[in-house]
Amino acid sequence: MQALSCSFPLTIPVMTGYVFLGVTYGLLMQSAGFPSWLPTLTAAVIYTGSMEFLMVEILASSFDPVSAMATAFMVGARHLFYGLAMLPKYGNTGWKKFYLIYTTSDETFAVNYGADIPEGIEKSWFYFWVSFLDQLYWVGGATLGAFFGRFLTFDTEGLDFVMTAMFIVILLAQWEKDGTRLKGCIRDHIPELIGLGASFMCLLLFGPDRFMIPSMVLILAALLAVRKPLERKKEEEQA
């Protein structure tokens, strides 16, 4: 209980975000004509906001399981990094470890990775409650949105822009983290620019229904190609 009361305040910012996005997600699924229990299920099982929003479109378009799976891998690739960072922290957490790994969302990672756990609090319980509360906000929000979607009287046309806006904001936050100076702006943001540029090129070449997989291949190849120069630049700056 002590661990719960200590972790709850740290999850309040996550709560506002997750409830807002969760409700919107539920509404969107509902207005796209999916059964009202589906948002709750996807929210609980997939539990990766970006992938779930993408699922609304993927499920509504023609059957293409390979592309869907490749997208999930690429979108989830950042979890690899979270996993590597959390390896030592999630060690020795016993039976909770499975759940902790399963529920490592962007926000949960941010809170747990950055938290200074007070002395006398069992760390595995602290991590557990943060993870559990965050998941509760998200699944709860999605359920609310799906439930109230049925009684909705306003026009939801254009609501799907929330997904675009979400990705823009995440990209901007990432951009900021990689540096905000104007000088050397291009060199600081090569991954972002590769992502935008490669996918735009593939969109023009392959068209809107076939550009995802070529884009992913091109992005991977380009990132690997610039690895050496990028890492050399970092060393020079640190020296």
Partner 1 sequence: MTRGQMAITFALVAAATVTTRFLPYVLFPEGRKVPAVITYLGKVLGPAVFGLLVVYCLRHVSLAAPPHGIPELIACLVTIGLYVWKRNMILPMAGGTLTYMLLLQLFF
Which residues lie closer than 8 Å to 148 by C-beta, 6 or more apart?
Answer: 23, 26, 27
Applying the rule CB under 8 A, the residues between 15 and 44 that interact with partner 1 are 16-17, 20-21, 24, 42
CB distance 71 to 54 below 8 Å:
yes
Cα-flanking dihedrals φ and ψ of residue 126, to 5°? -60, -50
Applying the rule CB under 8 A, the residues between 95 and 124 that interact with partner 1 are 101-102, 104
Minimal CA–CA distance to 192: which of 225, 168, 228?
Answer: 168
- Provide, rounded to whole angstroms, the least separation between the CB of residue 36 and partner 1: 15
Q: Please name the amino acid found at residue 72.
A: A
Q: Please name the amino acid found at residue 214.
A: P
Return the structure tokens found at 145.
């949105």
Applying CB under 8 A, which of residues 72, 110, 115, 121 lies at the interface with partner 1? 72
Applying CB under 8 A, which of residues 4, 75, 110, 117 lies at the interface with partner 1? 75
- Provide, rounded to whole angstroms, the least separation between the CB of residue 2 and partner 1: 27
Instruction: Sketch the per residue contact string, 176 through 215, with partner 1: x for CB under 8 A, - otherwise.
Output: --x----------xxxxxxxxxxxx--x----x--xx--x
Applying CB under 8 A, which of residues 1, 33, 84, 120 lies at the interface with partner 1? 84
Applying the rule CB under 8 A, the residues between 143 and 182 that interact with partner 1 are 155-159, 161-175, 178
Beta strands of 32-146 (E only): which ranges? none
CB distance 146 to 114 below 8 Å:
no
Q: Please name the amino acid found at residue 229.
A: P
Please identify, using beta-carbon distances, which residue of 117 and 199 lies nearer to partner 1.
Answer: 199
- Provide, rounded to whole angstroms, the least separation between the CB of residue 5 and partner 1: 25
